Amino acid sequence: MEMILNEYDMVVGAKFENGTIQDYIDEAQTFGLIRFENTTAFWFLFNQIDSAEDIKELYNKVIKEEHYIKDEYGEEMVVFNKKGDISYEALVEKIDSYLDDGLTSAY
């Protein structure tokens, strides 16, 4: 993955074969976007204890609609508003890879 940096050299997304990931696409910076081949979806990380109120509000709204949640010890990756043929699992795998690459490059 090739990381996308902002003007302050902070990672804000990534390019990979057949797609891109962005951390935040909304003004409130609550959710991101993944584009993979013919599929797009929004995503965000959620933790019941640590997430800000606006993220909790988004979470409560999203779980009433079609969505996918990957829960790793209380840290949830929420993917929603998917349009296209790629499975939620494949999207989550790409997001996981992006997050892992971002952590590795931080060290």
Edge to edge, the sheet with strand 2-5 lists: 2-5, 11-16, 19-22, 32-36, 39-46, 75-83, 67-72
Strand partners, 77: 45, 70
> Where do the domains of the chain lie?
2-106
Q: 76-100 pLDDT, tens per residue?
A: 999 999 999 999 999 999 999 999 8
Query: What span, in angstroms and rounded, lies between the C-alpha atoms of 41 and 36?
Result: 9
Residue 12: which H helix or E strand, with range? strand 11-16
For the chain, give the mean pLDDT: 91
**Above 50 in pLDDT, residue 33?**
yes
pLDDT tens, position by position, 52-82: 999 999 999 999 999 999 998 889 999 999 9
For the chain, first and last CA: distance in Å? 16
Provide, rounded to the nearest whole percent, the portion of the chain with pLDDT above 90: 76
